[in-house]
Structure 1
Amino acid sequence: MGVILRALRALILLCGFYLLSVVLLAALIGLDAALLTEVHGLLAVKIVAVSVLLAVPLVRGVFVLRTPRDEDPPGIEAAEEDEPRLWALVRELARTMGTRAPDRILLTADVEAAVSERPRMLGLLPGPRRLHLGVPLLAGLTEAQLRAVLVHEYGHFTGGDTRLSALVVRGRRQIGRVVEGFHARADGKVAAERARQERAAAGRIAKGRKPEAVDTRRTGALYRSMAAVFTWYGRLYLRASMSTARAQEFAADLAAARVAGREATASSLRDIPALAAAYDVYVDSYATLGLSVRLLPPHGEFFGGFSRLLAAREGDAAPSRAWLRPAPVSPYDSHPPIAERVLRIESLPADGRVAAAEGAASALLTDAARTWAALEEAVLEAEILAFEHATGWPELLNAAMAGALSSAHTPLHQVLAQYTGRPATLPALLDVIDDGRLWRLAERLPLSKEAAAAKGRAFRAFARPMLTDGLRAMVLTEFSARSLLGWEFSWSRPAAVRLPDSLAWDASGIPSEVGSEPALAAAVAAALADRPDTGPLRALLAEDLPTPA
């Protein structure tokens, strides 16, 4: 479908919204006119009042003509004098595509690239263009792949997609505004009616009479009926506009393959989902690790550490790149499934452009470290920026794990506090074990029905893993308080606890092969045996152990 036809379709869909609104307004006026010829007095006033109230959300949706402008996401402006190599690539690709280059480049913390345009006269006249470029993409893609990504985005410029989006977004927002208006008024009516009925019920109770049940099921029905009409049209509008959007994505992919090469385009489509998954791991497990103890990564590393994780886990992403999970297609999806897009690109004839521009895309930045640091200042909230910065990642890990251990709240912690009426500490648990009450305590754990119904040795086998987790947390908390443990930081695997060699025990609770004797694991196992013995654990706690190196 060409640009003119798509513009005409978008305009027809938008006009359909106005036509539906005018028809409903005319129907309300006609109904009032018909009823008022038969009805007079107070009832006539009520009919007119109801019609006016129904018309208010409709009129607001139709005559609020200004389309709200999209705000820029948090990020940093990439001025041409600061990033000449990036701008040179952006302009080169624009010339190749025969389109106007963006007027601004905004570097963001998202794993995505996007273009937008602020056209005039509902998209009939061009306007300023913006390129939003996620710095994590620069960290994880090659220059060849970045070229493919940028050409794909320019495909939306050459196809007129960014200009037509003004029409589509306008209709989507206005329909949504009308639906929200009707639902808001219906909710207000329900709340008022509920309050009235509750007051009446309270009055009946005060008089010693039985109150009536509150029932608001029919309240606001007219508003919800009007909302249902526009919800139906909104779904029709979305299905039509999103099918066009999916076709635009396919067309932009083909443009990318033609200019940047088949291999670079297909590999970028494969890599971006894997890159997004790795970024989620990084943010959840590394960047935000110390927030609970008000500690940030080293300055500039909140986002900058992502490059280190990618380098350490390069081989981990290979399986996800090689196989893309087929995804169901919804008529409301704006993008086709990645697997289908890759299949279409890889079915094109080979073009021989495999080894071109294989360098890291981050090399386009004048100073990548400076960019990461500036992004941190621009994206993080002021409250977070007020936190202290760790001097290194190991310090951040140790502080975060010490804080987590001090606030540990396993099921064992919970039932122990309830059982003893005291804080859940290791000494309190050891006292319970020595008193022969361990398995009575275990009966209070949140076990499965099968475990709770078991008896004797079978019950102990079911309960022991949960007891081990809780006891282990208490032991580590005790050693942390004595500064007898540290944590081994790694970009490629989960953190491992580091104890004195004689107490070696890894983060999963399995005795480590490093160290002369897994004494701690044996002591915990003895405390939770069928015949518990806390002696070995108490002996270890009483020792003067060296701090781990």
Structure 2
Amino acid sequence: MSANKGADMGLGIRATVAALLIALFYGLLGAVTWFGVATVHRAFTDPAYLGKDRVVVGLFGTVFVVPAVQVAIAAVKRRAPAYAGVELSPDAQPELWRFIETLAGACEVPAPTRIVVTAQVSAAAQSSAALFGTLRRERTVYLGLPLLAVLDTAQIAAVVCHELGHHAGGDSRLTALTYRSGDMLLAATIRRGKLRMLSLTQGLFQAFAGVYFSMTFALRRRQELAADRLAARVAGSEATATALEALPLITATYAVFAQSNRTRTSAGEPLDPAADLAGYRDFFESATLAAPDGPVRRRLFDSHPPMAERVAAVHGIGSPPTVSIPSGQAIDLLRMWAEVAAATAQVTRSARSR
């Protein structure tokens, strides 16, 4: 059984549910818009409406047309999130490229066309696309330097496989549809400024939004667990579980380190925390994270399952790695990593100052 099929992504069921919800949303939007347009048309063509009555009925119909305008604006404005960072070429970083291309092959997804390192405490695999995510163009893997600084190669392999797993079996297309439709639904429910008079239509869309987001967030949680399973089967259960367990501590410690770091260069100048990877690694290794009091339970609108649930599920798989992963620290996959970190820090500073 292939890694994709073995991961049991359940794409057919998820796609069917998402497609029904999206179709219902656009059907609801179409019905509301049709009612509004028909009301406005009748106000100005029906001789029964004259003077003040014509204006009142016309404004009433407009109330039902405005949500369609809001949704159209949201559709145009929707963009994939951009991460400030440094793009690494295959010639400059051949080891890292081979490493990620091998993982992509094991996950049965197309190899990336770009690899970018960032100062974020995260990783991501992103496809730029057209037609609501159905046509892929550029495929980018983003790697956060804080992760590379403290994880080993097996753990970073698990992180990368998890992100690539969201592109296995068409998951990214499904995600693009649900995210974009969610943006449009929010545009039809959020009141801003003079649009407060739209409470009639908002009540209708807000009721639908509760159902839509409860269902799509449940789908996203299943996608996260499926991506974890794929990572465990490719990079190994142990590496995946320990990487998941480390993520909350990395997030917490890097936030503190970025605010309190006082390291200086040999010339005595302040060193940007994003460039001081060795200092951050020492800080991380000396830190501890208090365990939460009692079990953390799922909530209706959580996009991810509780971390303890994810770790337990990965341990239950008990899979060894199915690809050859070089030993050592993840940061050693980067040539001249100190220079790359300094360049990333500078790009991050420039992006923040805009």
Distance 1:77 1:54, change over 3 A: same
Q: Which amino acid aligns with 2:302?
A: D
Distance 1:2 1:20, change over 3 A: same
Q: Is the 8 A contact 1:148 1:264 kept in 2?
A: yes
1:379 matches 2:353: no
Q: d(CA) in 2 for partners of 1:185 and 1:328?
A: 40
Show structure 1 runs of 5+ residues with no match.
188-219, 291-295, 386-549
1:103 pairs with 83, 101, 113, which one? 113
Q: Which has the higher contact order (CA 8 A, sep 6+)?
A: 2
- The DSSP-based 3-state class of the residue aligned with 1:119 is strand
2:184 pairs with 163, 167, 174, which one? 174
**Residue 352 of structure 1: CA displacement?**
8.6
1:225 pairs with 182, 200, 208, which one? 200
Distance 1:280 1:312, change over 3 A: closer
Q: Which amino acid aligns with 2:334?
A: L
Q: Which amino acid aligns with 2:314?
A: I
- The DSSP-based 3-state class of the residue aligned with 1:76 is strand
Q: Is the 8 A contact 2:229 2:317 kept in 1?
A: no
Give TM-score, length-normalised by structure 2: 0.85
- The DSSP-based 3-state class of the residue aligned with 1:126 is strand
2:257 pairs with 282, 291, 298, which one? 282
State the partner residue of 2:312. 343
Q: Which amino acid aligns with 2:338?
A: A
1:84-110 CA-partner distances (Å, limit 9, x unpaired): 111110101111122101111121111
Q: Is the 8 A contact 1:300 1:372 kept in 2?
A: no
- The DSSP-based 3-state class of the residue aligned with 1:326 is coil
1:235 matches 2:235: no
Distance 1:35 1:316, change over 3 A: same
Q: Which stretch of the first structure deviates more once superposed, 14-23 or 267-276?
A: 14-23
**Residue 142 of structure 1: CA displacement?**
0.5
Q: Is the 8 A contact 2:125 2:140 kept in 1?
A: yes
Q: d(CA) in 2 for partners of 1:245 and 1:384?
A: 33
State the partner residue of 1:391. none
- The DSSP-based 3-state class of the residue aligned with 1:347 is helix
**Residue 158 of structure 1: CA displacement?**
1.1
Larger Rg: 1
Distance 1:309 1:325, change over 3 A: farther
**Residue 83 of structure 1: CA displacement?**
1.5
State the partner residue of 2:229. 254
State the partner residue of 2:168. 158
- The DSSP-based 3-state class of the residue aligned with 2:137 is coil
Distance 1:24 1:250, change over 3 A: same
**Residue 272 of structure 1: CA displacement?**
1.2
Q: d(CA) in 1 for partners of 2:83 and 2:31?
A: 39
State the partner residue of 1:19. 27
Q: d(CA) in 2 for partners of 1:383 and 1:150?
A: 26
Q: Is the 8 A contact 1:239 1:331 kept in 2?
A: yes
**Residue 350 of structure 1: CA displacement?**
6.1
Q: d(CA) in 1 for partners of 2:58 and 2:303?
A: 41
Q: d(CA) in 1 for partners of 2:321 and 2:82?
A: 39
Distance 1:246 1:312, change over 3 A: closer
State the partner residue of 1:407. none
Show structure 2 runs of 5+ residues with no match.
1-8
Distance 1:139 1:383, change over 3 A: closer
1:267 pairs with 242, 256, 261, which one? 242
1:10 matches 2:21: no
State the partner residue of 2:285. 314
Task: Count how many residue pairs are aligned between Structure 1 and Structure 2.
Answer: 341
1:367 matches 2:336: yes
Q: CA RMSD in A?
A: 3.2
Q: Is the 8 A contact 1:97 1:154 kept in 2?
A: yes
State the partner residue of 1:302. 273
**Residue 19 of structure 1: CA displacement?**
1.0
